[in-house]
Structure 1
Amino acid sequence: MRSLLYQININFKRIILRNKRFFFFDVIMPIFFYVLYSKVFVGNASPAFLKVWQTDYLISMIIYGCLLGSTITVSNTLLEDQTSHFDILSRLTPLPRWKYYLSRVLIFLLLNLIAAVGICITGVLVNNLSLPIQSWTLIILATLVGTLPLIFIGILISLASSPATVNLLNNLVTFPLAIVSGLWMPLNAMPKWLQTIGKLTPTFELSNIDKAILNSKAIDNSSVMGIILWFVVLCVGTLLVIKYQRHRELNFA
């Protein structure tokens, strides 16, 4: 247990305290967009509609911030570990590999927690949003659990092992995923075929869960199963890619 806490402490300092890009891309940027589209670009919307919009868009930006952290931050962090050979150094320590990966996942979840809490505080301070503490807590907890599949997307992207390829994949996955799942614009404003694709994404499923908690409604079991299915598929996919890469390394050795 002590060795795991030591690893978490090291990664906390490396990945969070010394990572200025995290605070800009995963925290400041979603907050900026939230304030812009919920406070500035609101037109002549009625107070009742505006309050609903500000709350719904808060959920979208919470998920968007976690999406940025789970894909771009995760993939770039793991890629930097590969290029700096930090991952090789970690293999030489007596710490079991499962503890190494667990410490990373916990740190990435903490990144998402900071982003989610930051956006929630912005909603309270800027738009005077008022929700019971229980609702805020459940939304944040559900979001953290729901971002596990997104973290594995970031891990998969990092396995490309090339900075150019990783950046390309981040752009091809992250921003289209945010758009097609309805985080940036209402899903019903898109073509039918795009709506069908969007409803299959993990970010859409997570949005459904968070908005159900927000509106004190029953959580759709299909959304929960969708998150679980994405998590299982991405876990298996990650293990298969890692196994394939190791097999290639042995063949070329």
Structure 2
Amino acid sequence: MAELVYRPVVGLAHTLFKAWDLKIDCKGWENIPRTGGAVLVSNHISYLDFIFNGLAARPQKRLVRFMAKESVFRHKISGPLMRSMKHIPVDRSQGEKAYAHALASLRSGEIVGIFPEATISRSFTLKTFKSGAARLAQEAGVPLVPMAVWGTQRLWTKGHPRNFKRSHIPVTIRVGEAIQAPKDKYAGAITRHLRDRVQELLEAAQRAYPVRPTGPQDTWWVPAHLGGTAPTPEEVRAAEAR
């Protein structure tokens, strides 16, 4: 079936990246399967992560159907685009509907993109992973493909203004080898292994990142444990509780 919207949108995004002169370093894209279903799993630090996750699949000529909160599909601009690109709406009060939609997509040979942290991490560290990705992979009989992005928080994230000017910001993407999800294995154990693998990829992306903060006012995007001024996970939890 022709992708009358998705492929042009991917082309537009690629043009914008060139206009912004983003320095994109993507390694491991060959781990994304050329055919068949798979669950693509990533950390979540920016509103734009799904674009870069999808970009990693471009060399394999794959399109990723992302699970996203239902409110995005109600927006007058993003809604028609999300529906046309066959992304999957998630209404948390009716989670079983989104699960069934994602499962059908996987069984039909699609790649489904999931952020198992559910929300953007304000500390830029990994939060707890929900088990839905593992359960979907088990039930559909498809692999999990772990990946990590770094630098996207400098473009647009929670609590900070967007930076869409020609800023030469590097974005580092690392895709890991597929993880199998046998049906006879506990989903929680698969999820823990998956999170460990994403953590390894995140650390690899951070090590490969070519720039460091330029001064005291530019440390907000660096996690506290790496010497930055981003809030710690404990501080984020306390703020959310308040």
- TM-score, normalising length from structure 2? 0.29
Q: Which has the higher helix share?
A: 1
Q: Which has the higher strand share?
A: 2
Larger of the two Rg values belongs to structure: 1
